[in-house]
Structures are given as C-alpha cells and as structure tokens.
Structure 1
Amino acid sequence: MKNRIAIYIPSLRGGGAERVMVTLANAFVSSGYYVDLVVGKADGSYIKDVSEEVAIVDLDSRRVTTSLPGLVRYLRRAKPNALLSAMVHANIIAIFANYIARSEIRLVVSEHNTLNSLLKTVSWLRREKWLPFAMRLMYPKTHGIVAVSKGVADELSMITNISREKIDVIYNPVVINYSFPPHTNRITLHPWFGDDQPPVILSAGRLTPQKDFTTLIYAFAKLLTKYQARLVIMGEGEQRNALEQLIQKLNISDKILLPGFVDNPREWMQCSSLFVLSSSWEGFGNVILEAMACGLPIVSTDCPSGPAEILEQGVWGRLVPVGDFAGLAEAMYLTLHEESHPDVVLRASQFSVEKAANKYLTALGMM
C-alpha cells in the first residue's frame, strides 16, 4: 500500500513558499506517493499548477488560525503517514493540530524566511511578538525541521534554542526542463523585446518593502544617465502607488513597466538581458534560480539570506550591499557590458526538483 503524504499551507496564492510546496507535491506524486495538498483556503494563482493526481483538500478558512479545527478533522480522517507544513504560522497550527488529533504521523515543518527581518518590518507581524516564544515551545515537538538556506537555519537555531545540527537545510528546487518560445513571440509579449530595442532588465516579487524596489528604481535612473535600457518589475502589492509616484517623479515612466502578477514569468525571463534582485532580505531567493534556469545573468543584493549561497559569494553573479543604489547601478552597467557570463544554467541545474524532493522524502521518513 502506498504511503500518503500531506502538505499543509495557508493558500495557493502567488508566493515563493507556495510555489515550492506545489512543486514538491507534484514530485511526490510522480515518485508513487498519495499526496494531499491541504490548504486553509483553496484559492490563488498556483491552483492551475497542481497535478491532477494531487488531491486538494480545502479547509475553507479565511485565516490560518481558523483552519485548526479543519486540519484536526483531516488528520483524524485521512491518517496520512507524514505531514509537511510551510511558513511559521502554518507550522505552529500544524503542530497544534497534530497534538489535538493525537495522530502518530511524522511531522516536519519548514521555514522559508528570516523571522527577525519580518518582525522588524512587516506591520501586522510587529504585533505578534509571541511568535519566537511559540516557536521555542512548539518546534521541538516535531520530527524534523527544514530551513531553505543556511542563513535561515542559523537564525532559526538562535530563536528556538534548537541545536543547529538538528535543522536540515534543503535548498528550494527549480524546474529546468522548459522550452524557449519562438523568436517571433518576443514582440508579441511586449514591443520592448524587438531586435532594435535597448536591453530589458527584469525583476520580480511582491511590491512590498522587503523587495526594496525603491532602491532598484533609483539605481535604474542612475544607470540611464550613461546607458539606455528598460526595466520590467513583475508583481503586485501594497507599494504599487508609491512606486508609480517615484517613477513619475524621476521622469522615467516611459522606461519602466509594472505589469502586475504574470502567470508565466519565464516567458519574460527568456527574452530579457539581465535579472536583478534588490531585496532587503530573503529566505532563499527562488526567483534568482528561476532566472538562472532561463540563462539570465544575475545582479543581487547581498541580503540575508540565500542569494549569496545561490551565487556562491559572487561566483555566479554580482553581489552588492543592501540599499546601495549606486552600487546596484554600477553592477548592472558592468554586467550588461560583459561579453560572456557564467554558465548560470549549469548552476541552476544543481538545484533540481528530484534532489530536493528526495531530501524532503528522507526528512519525512519515506526513504
């Protein structure tokens, strides 16, 4: 009889952790396991990416905390062999639910971001100072803890007082087997991708303070003083109006595009000349790997944590200090002028779905 694996996340909205969990669910199914993707609310852009062989279990809850009763009922009814959860609030609920259900499953929680940075900058999280205490109390009750980067693991160890050796680091996977669109699709995607157009610099992420697109826009404005280019920032979020006002203030509205959330960002990546990550912090930086899988040269801030691990301290792309718009502009300029670039596809291939899935299956006691 095949083992059943449950994956619990708040929703299927567009975020790095959610995308990773969908990728893992599909990989587990391909490896011969029954997989239930248990979500607080079954909505979001990633629903279409879930394999038909993965069962989506909708707990129909608006908030993570209110999904607790539904998760308890699911554990008692379905009796999966293992449960994997992602992100701090969902992890705590998963631990509570497992305790209340008195289930004998193997429970593994995964952390995808640095909590201290979130607590300092995300307004609604500032009110939740209880989180570190809850993590210290609850995380030791799990069978395994996974962090998506060494930096996240180091911080998690300090917050929970759990030995660093007991926290597994499993880097997020990236899908490599894609097909480039025909060349004629470039102009259809956007006129900026025509042969006679300046190079397009690409960035992506939620329009929030964490991604620090303000610094990127100032850096791009400085770059334009000596080099013609275009900038596309894919994503949606609370800072859209502020960013649009900044772009207008700098008088570069005709050179920057904010297309919102894009269903297939790889189409844009395959047509662009450079990818830039300007974040103040990351848990890992999935989008860097996505861009590298498409062959894009990389410029990134050396933020905690993930980008420096992916780029091996600058071997595979330039790293600049967080918030340094002048340094970011210079790094973009130098990278765009280089005649050759590191083989970033080769580096991206080291973060395969199969490798990550096997490591998670080991943590879940399935291998």
Structure 2
Amino acid sequence: MARIAVFVSSWPQGAIQRLMLNLAAEFAAAGHAVDLLAPRGHAPAEGLPPGVRLLELAPRRAGLPGVRRHKRWFVPLALPALVRYLKRERPAALLSGGEWPNVIGLAARRLAGGATRVVVSEHIHVGASTAGAAERKRRRLLPRLMARLYPRADAIVAVSEGVRQDLLARFPLPAARVHTIYNPVITPALLAARDAPLDDPWFAPGAPPVLLNVAALRVQKDQPTLLRAFAALRAQRPARLLILGEGSQRPALETLAGELGIAADVRMPGYVPNPLAYMRRAAVFVLSSRYEGFGNVLAEALVCGCPVVSTDCPAGPAEILDNGRYGRLTPVGDVEALARALAAALDAPVDRPALEQRGLAYSAAAAAGPYLRALLGP
C-alpha cells in the first residue's frame, strides 16, 4: 500500500477541507497511509480516521503581524516545510486542494525532487471568479503561477466539467491530464445528520413553507437577488426565507430585507453545524450564486429529498441537476425568473426518492476510486 499526502491551506474548517478529509478516510479504508498536511490546523472534533495522521507545516515567519493580517500567505510560507516533508517521507503521491496549495505543492515537488506524483484539484471556475476588474487586480499573481505550474502536474482534477473546460481554455494544459471528478460530498455521517431532531417553530405543522439558502454571506452567493425574488414571491403567497451562513454582506442584506418589507419573514441566524436537518424539512432549497466550482450544498439538499432551485451559474449546478431534470435552473441575477421558479417548485409534486438517489451519486466512495487512479496510476 502507498503513502498519500493531502495538502490544503488549513485543517479542518472549510469546504475543500471537508472534501479532502472525506477522501482521506476513503484512501485509508482502502489500506493506504494518509498524511494530512497544512500550514496550520488541528484534528476535527470527531477525530481522525484510522490510518490518517495530521502534520502541521508551520511557517517559520507565521508570527509576523503582516502574515497574521494576510492569512493567504500562510500557504506560500509553508513551502520550505513541505519540501522537507517530501524529501523525508517520499510519499507516492501528493493531492492538493485549492489554488495556493496547488501551486505550492507543485513548486515543492520540483524543489524536493524524487518520484512523488502530484495531483492538483481545482474547485472554482477561474474565469468567473476573476471576471471583475477589482478581482483581476487582486489576483494578478495567482493565475500567472497557475499557468506556469499546473502543466507540471501529473494530473489535474476539475470538480465539474465546467471547471475542466475553463481550465483548458485558460491555461496551456494537456487535455488528457485534466479529469472531471465530482466532489466527494456524501458520507455515512452526513446521511445520519439528515434525521437529527430540529426544534424550530418555523418548521412546525401548519407553518408557512420555508425556503432555505445555505451559503456564506458574500458577493459570490448573490443573496440580494434571492431577497428580491423572495419579496416578489411573498407578495403573492405566505412563505419564509431562512439563510444559514455568515459573512461580510450581513449588514447590507439586513438593510435590504428591511427596505423590501420582508424582514419579518427572513431569518439569518448565522452558521449552524448541521444544515442537513433544515434541508430535510425545507420546502425548497435555493442557490442564487453568481459562480461556483461544483455546488456541494445542492448535492446535500438532493440527498435530503429537498426540491432545488438554482442559478445556472458557472460551474456545477447544471451538471448536478442534469440540466433541470432534478431541479429548476434560472439565469444568474434574474429576479423575476428566480421568483417564478420558486413559486413553481412550491406548487409541484415532489419525488423525494428520485432526488435522494441523485444526491447519492456524489458520494465520497464514488469519488475515491477515480482519485486513486489519478494519484497512483491505473
């Protein structure tokens, strides 16, 4: 059996980290030794799976005030420690997740030498995420490093076909080395979380239907369009909107809800540890994003049997929903179309078993095999 290293920006918080931990558990269950690597981190509260160890690649300059303010520099500063790890442990393969871990993982392999295979995983639609002038200015360095280093990867995993096509259009990559592997979202623990008890008066019998959005409160997720669409829906029928997540856009969203006259029917309680219990009970799950890489929450909502409405954003939702077969798709930023789709979803009959079966397609077990073939060869 092989030693496989998994490198991300930190442990255990974050969507990419959860996905990589799901894969690590599957790799270990298949008999491989797995090292979780990050510049900073600690084991998750539930502990590490058997056969998995956590190694912190602490940057020597991480205590400097400038580094604390700009946390993205934790990953580049971990380069020397990662080089030392690769020279010492000589893992058969290194899997990285996220753009900075990807470029630093590739640079470390080049500096360390040896035969370690490096597989990078891209979790965002690069073109959409850098579309604005301000975002292009902020991210000038990273795309250049990606263009220089990604072609040196033994394999590149795109988490959706939309991400794959964007990578091939944007960077000089051999198409045969870029593979689409959908995210390892669904695990036995996640399935068990669906049926956790929920004490919330909004879900009491006879209460108005609840629309659910689970996303960080940031520009990418475009909750202003969601609030405006909900206001149009609410003008026609009783309904409530629950947004689970936290972020910098909270004050603006609270102000907008008040201006639209819907504040009494909108709740934003912040982060909750188990959104699956809400997905199991919501009338409709809605994603209003401007862009994604995959859309993990859509797979989670489906496996909970919850009807889905999503923007047809780049990239992932159309693939998860099979171009509308398993949920409604609307244009990005279109308030009227989103309001109509929400109303239609509330009125339509629900085939929960079919939705749950679709969600199960995005399991960690299903993703582990293709990842191992990319990491270790066929």
TM-score range, shorter chain: over 0.9
The reply to whether residue 239 of structure 1 matches residue 249 of structure 2 is yes
Partner of 1:359: 370
Pairwise CA distance, 1:72: 1.2
CA contact (8 A) 2:195 2:277 kept: no
Amino acid aligned to 1:249:
E
Pairing of 1:252-331 with structure 2 (within 5 A): 252-331=262-341
For 2:280, what is the secondary structure of its paired residue? helix
Question: 1:69-90 CA distances to partner (integer Å, 9 max, x unpaired)?
Answer: 1211221222211100011111
TM-score normalised over the length of structure 1: 0.93
Pairing of 1:68-107 with structure 2 (within 5 A): 68-107=79-118
The reply to whether residue 196 of structure 1 matches residue 206 of structure 2 is yes
Amino acid aligned to 2:254:
E
CA contact (8 A) 2:11 2:17 kept: yes
CA contact (8 A) 2:244 2:270 kept: yes
The reply to whether residue 344 of structure 1 matches residue 342 of structure 2 is no
CA contact (8 A) 1:154 1:164 kept: no
Pairwise CA distance, 1:252: 1.8
Distance 1:4 1:13, change over 3 A: closer
Pairing of 1:40-55 with structure 2 (within 5 A): 40-42=39-41, 48=46, 50-51=48-49, 53-55=51-53
CA distance in 1, matches of 2:234, 2:45: 39
CA distance in 2, matches of 1:293, 1:157: 31
CA distance in 2, matches of 1:84, 1:356: 14
Pairwise CA distance, 1:124: 6.3
Pairing of 1:18-37 with structure 2 (within 5 A): 18-37=17-36
Partner of 2:160: 149
Distance 1:40 1:316, change over 3 A: same
Amino acid aligned to 1:283:
G
Pairwise CA distance, 1:22: 1.2
Consecutive unaligned residues of structure 2, counting only runs of 5 or more, are 60-70
CA distance in 1, matches of 2:276, 2:138: 37
CA contact (8 A) 2:119 2:153 kept: yes
Question: 1:318-349 CA distances to partner (integer Å, 9 max, x unpaired)?
Answer: 00000011111110111111123461111112
CA distance in 2, matches of 1:122, 1:264: 36
Distance 1:255 1:235, change over 3 A: same
CA distance in 1, matches of 2:38, 2:233: 43
Task: Tell me which moved more, 329-338 or 255-264.
Answer: 255-264
For 1:11, what is the secondary structure of its paired residue? coil
Amino acid aligned to 1:168:
H
Partner of 2:64: none
CA contact (8 A) 1:204 1:234 kept: yes
CA contact (8 A) 1:12 1:47 kept: no
CA contact (8 A) 1:10 1:40 kept: yes
CA distance in 2, matches of 1:103, 1:268: 48
Partner of 2:123: 112
Distance 1:152 1:216, change over 3 A: same
Distance 1:180 1:47, change over 3 A: closer
Pairing of 1:219-230 with structure 2 (within 5 A): 219-230=229-240
Pairwise CA distance, 1:264: 1.2
For 2:81, what is the secondary structure of its paired residue? helix
Partner of 1:39: 38
CA distance in 2, matches of 1:218, 1:124: 25
Partner of 2:142: 131
CA contact (8 A) 2:211 2:283 kept: yes
Consecutive unaligned residues of structure 1, counting only runs of 5 or more, are none
Question: 1:149-178 CA distances to partner (integer Å, 9 max, x unpaired)?
Answer: 111111101221213332100011232542
For 1:95, what is the secondary structure of its paired residue? helix
CA contact (8 A) 2:185 2:300 kept: yes
Pairwise CA distance, 1:17: 1.9
Question: 1:265-286 CA distances to partner (integer Å, 9 max, x unpaired)?
Answer: 1111112111001000010111
CA distance in 1, matches of 2:206, 2:55: 49
For 1:76, what is the secondary structure of its paired residue? helix
Pairwise CA distance, 1:120: 2.8
For 2:263, what is the secondary structure of its paired residue? coil
CA distance in 2, matches of 1:312, 1:32: 34
Amino acid aligned to 1:299:
V
Pairwise CA distance, 1:298: 0.5
CA contact (8 A) 2:194 2:276 kept: no
Amino acid aligned to 1:56:
L
TM-score normalised over the length of structure 2: 0.90
For 2:149, what is the secondary structure of its paired residue? helix
Pairwise CA distance, 1:180: 6.6
CA distance in 1, matches of 2:193, 2:114: 46
CA distance in 1, matches of 2:47, 2:239: 33
Distance 1:300 1:122, change over 3 A: farther
CA contact (8 A) 1:114 1:282 kept: yes
The reply to whether residue 163 of structure 1 matches residue 181 of structure 2 is no
CA contact (8 A) 1:22 1:49 kept: no
